[in-house]
Amino acid sequence: MMNKIKLSVIVPIYCVEKYIGNLLNSVTPNLLPGIEVILVDDGSKDNCGSIIDDYQRKHKSYVKVIHKQNGGVSSARNVALSIANGEYISFVDGDDHIPSDYFTSIVSTLDKYGDPDLLIFDFYSVVGDNVTTEKCREFKEGFVDRKIFCKKNLDVATAAIASVCNKVVKKALITDICFDEKIKYGEDSLFFIDILSRLNKIVYLQKPLYYYHMNRESSLCVTKKLKEEIILFEEIKRRFESYKDNYQIVAIGRTARIGYDILKELYITNGHSNEIEYYERFIKGNLTNIVFNKNLNVSLKKHCLFVWLGIAKIYIQAKCRFKSRY
């Protein structure tokens, strides 16, 4: 009789030959009954494809390999989601790694709290030789109130809240939801905005179960990131216009934050006046919702107020000049 698959771990891989050995070494101790690992080679130009094929031959009972044309991380995750058999889904990036008790800690927590819809856990942030623990400081261990989780999702800059890599989601909730393949930046945030309304039972485990490696070659350059932020802004804006109650609050908070980040970059780079006017108009038109929203931080409200007053560009450019001098 086949073991029931409790957890499917989805790993998109693209040109990370330098790091893939570390990832696979960390996966091996977690290959236990009840887990499946789906490695997706997203058209890698290096030797990642052959490396994961060799690994799969050694661990056929637990590991699946998919080879596909390059389509981006969202495309790779979606292909894996379509064949995943686990009751729960988790995501690991190809240049990161996991601790040896990843699977056992996740399963014991899911069992302890009666199979929640979503499990959140802490993670390690790795920069060179420096390792720091990133905690979801907004929550206490155990059950998390759904409204509180929605409010905390306003802060797109908090990786502990926005990332998929420190979360485990019940597959039954996402059978008709996938990652938006148009989005190359912020796809995690969009994915969780889409499933917020379906989450009832959320649990937080105050334990780091992921090693997230920062500042690697895959980082987006500023120009490319700006373009991707603009696409993300439009997608969240579209969702914000159709949501209600807490979910609309989350969407407008995210949209305001990203919109202001785009404006700031346009001010600094002397972007096209039509683009600047578009984002200024959005912030001015939603200023009441932003300023009187007690869930948004004071700094964002202040900067959006500067936009409304017409002094944001002067303020940001002066700040940049000051920083360049010192």
Residues 203 and 63 grouped into a single domain: yes
Residues 190 and 263 grouped into a single domain: no
pLDDT above 60 for 167: yes
Residues 158 and 263 grouped into a single domain: no
In angstroms, the CA 5 to CA 117 distance is 16
Mean pLDDT of 166-179: 94
Contact 51, 17 (CB under 8 A): yes
pLDDT of residue 217: 54
Summary mean pLDDT of the chain: 85
Tell me: the pLDDT tens digits for 204-254? 999 999 999 876 554 334 445 667 777 777 777 776 666 555 556 656 777
Q: Which of 213, 240, 260 is the last residue of a domain?
A: 213
Residues 53 and 163 grouped into a single domain: yes
For the ranges 74-83, 221-230, 313-322, the maximum mean pLDDT occurs at 74-83
Does this model's pTM top 0.85? no
Residues 226 and 208 grouped into a single domain: no
Tell me whether residue 1 is in a domain.
no
For the ranges 284-293, 299-308, 311-320, the maximum mean pLDDT occurs at 299-308
Q: Which residues contact 94 (CB under 8 A, 6 or more apart)?
A: 11, 12, 13, 14, 16, 19, 20, 23, 48
Tell me whether residue 229 is in a domain.
yes
Parent domain of 62: 7-213
Tell me whether residue 2 is in a domain.
no
Mean pLDDT of 148-162: 62
Q: Which of 157, 188, 213 is the last residue of a domain?
A: 213
Tell me: the pLDDT tens digits for 16-39? 999 999 999 999 999 999 999 999
